[in-house]
A = this chain, B = another copy of it.
Amino acid sequence: MVVPRLIERKRDGGTLTPEEWRELIGAYVAGLVPDYQLAALAMAVFFRGMSEEELGALTQAMLHSGARLDFGTWATPRVDKHSIGGVGDKTSLLLAPMLACCGVAVPMISGRGLGHTGGTLDKLEAIPGFRTGLSLDEATRQVQRLGCVMLGQTAELVPADRKLYALRDVTGTVESIPLISASIMSKKLAEDLRGLVLDIKTGSGAFLTEPAQSLRLAETMIGIGEAQGCRTVALLTAMDRPLGYACGNALEVEEAIHGLTGDGPEDLMEVTYALGVEMLLVGRVFQDRHAARRRLEASVGSGAAREKFAALIEAQGGNPSVVDDPRGLPHAPVQEVYRAPRAGVVTQVAPRLIGHAIIALGGGRLRTDDNIDPAVGFVVTAKPGQWVEAGQPIATVHARSVADGHIGLNALAASIQIGESAVATPLISHRVSRDGVESMSR
């Protein structure tokens, strides 16, 4: 393997063999291939793309670069859901306990928030005592006992991805659909899954703003998953407004608990159930989506999912009483109510502005080593298309100080637009599977 020749081949539109990808990634993780060669190769991939065979080989090479979850002969099928960055997206907090009540297990490895998008680990850590830094052994045992676990990536898991992602982050090579796909799928396939559901957020507040890009990402990731024997389905869901009302870590936990109790915001519940149904289908414990939906609704209606969440919190060192009494969650000292400045139809609730305002309030990160305040954020009850009266309370800022509260109010004024009429975008626009793309909007 002469690395410059491999780079040149990719640069000139050729492909690397599976063996070459394996050898290259192995040597890179071992420190035998320098960062500058991988950086040049990643940029060549940005321009030239990768074949399905190459993507499979790269994903497998990354997957095999470290330890993995291994449930051996355990019969319960494992499924997971992965979302591509949004604002107000707390579906993971609902789905892990709900699915664990429906005959599948959820070994969910999540990430932290970065930039304007939130991360599941940060939300969980808003719960006092909650520990996301489990070992793979602990995680495996908890899944087998409880049906679900929610942890962060460990040092032993897919080290090739960690090293390569850090490099891409500083070399302008993040925005490559094949590299994004291999990165996500190597981590998800390390969970020893039968099925995976992807929630591809699309719109102004998402990583991908155009449906065409989202479809390409979905198809690429599905290709990788299916080739590795993991049934993979994707939903394209709207991120031109926040999902649900709450945006901010502790506020989102509280809203997730409402959801598990049966009174979450309608859009949040619709996306959660849609994803949950797909998870049960890819897990092959249900063939009928209506039956799957009824089972999920029953897990909420019976209180089982809520109890499962409490058990999950307890198992991971957190205080489970927050499920009954949200006062156990951190609260910001200042609340400022935002009122509609005029009567009209809400035409926009720009999620990116809200995400950036959370960073400004101290609740998000610009750099991976920033500390965050879990209590701050927004509750925005206004939704695009909704009629509001002048002076009607439509959002609340949760801030550390009155000054920060005003920053939050200004951000809301910029984010929420009121006009004459709104164009409705579908909450769930497409379903993508190995069988093709289905449009879900009427």
Q: Which residue of B lies closest to A6 (CB)?
A: B172
Min Cβ gap A298→B in Å is 48
Q: Which of A139-180 contact B (CB under 8 A)?
A: 167, 169-173, 175
Residues of B within 8 A of A111 (CB): none
A167 & B43 in contact (Cβ 8 Å cutoff): no
Q: Give the docked Cα–Cα distance between A41 and B44 (Å).
A: 11
- Number of copies of this chain in the oligomer? 2
Q: Which of A4-59 contact B (CB under 8 A)?
A: 4-8, 10-11, 34-44, 46-47
The one of B4, B34, B175 in contact with A172, judged by C-beta atoms closer than 8 angstroms, is B4
Residues of B within 8 A of A5 (CB): 172
Q: Which residue of B lies closest to A170 (CB)?
A: B4
Residues of B within 8 A of A40 (CB): 39-40, 42-43, 171-173
B46 & A11 in contact (Cβ 8 Å cutoff): yes
Binary CB contact string for chain A from 87 to 107 against chain B (1 if under 8 A, 0 otherwise): 000000000000000000000
Q: Which residue of B lies closest to A5 (CB)?
A: B172
**Count, chain A residues at interface, CB 8 A:** 28
Residues of B within 8 A of A175 (CB): 8
Contact of A440 with B by CB under 8 A: no
Min Cβ gap A368→B in Å is 14
B36 & A167 in contact (Cβ 8 Å cutoff): yes
Most B Cβ at <10 Å: residue of A3, A167, A171: A171
Q: Which residue of B lies closest to A172 (CB)?
A: B7
B35 & A34 in contact (Cβ 8 Å cutoff): yes
B172 & A8 in contact (Cβ 8 Å cutoff): yes
Residues of B within 8 A of A43 (CB): 7, 11, 39-40, 43-44, 47
Q: Give the docked Cα–Cα distance between A4 and B170 (Å).
A: 5
The one of B4, B46, B169, B173 in contact with A171, judged by C-beta atoms closer than 8 angstroms, is B4
Q: Which residue of B lies closest to A171 (CB)?
A: B40
Residues A3 and B35 in contact in the complex (CB < 8 Å), given A40-B40, A43-B11, A47-B47: no
Min Cβ gap A299→B in Å is 44
Q: Give the docked Cα–Cα distance between A311 and B168 (Å).
A: 56
Residues of B within 8 A of A172 (CB): 4-8, 10-11, 40-41, 44
Q: Give the docked Cα–Cα distance between A34 and B6 (Å).
A: 22
Residues of B within 8 A of A173 (CB): 7, 40
Min Cβ gap A45→B in Å is 10
Q: Give the docked Cα–Cα distance between A185 and B36 (Å).
A: 25
Residues A7 and B37 in contact in the complex (CB < 8 Å), given A43-B43, A43-B44, A47-B47: no
A37 & B4 in contact (Cβ 8 Å cutoff): no
Q: Which residue of B lies closest to A47 (CB)?
A: B47
Residues of B within 8 A of A34 (CB): 35-36
Min Cβ gap A163→B in Å is 12
Leading 6 A-B pairs by shortest Cβ distance: A7-B172, A43-B43, A40-B171, A36-B39, A35-B36, A8-B172
Can you identify 18 A-B contacts, CB atoms within 8 angstroms? Answer: A3-B170, A4-B172, A7-B43, A7-B171, A8-B172, A11-B46, A35-B35, A36-B36, A36-B38, A36-B167, A37-B39, A39-B171, A40-B40, A40-B43, A40-B172, A43-B43, A44-B172, A47-B47
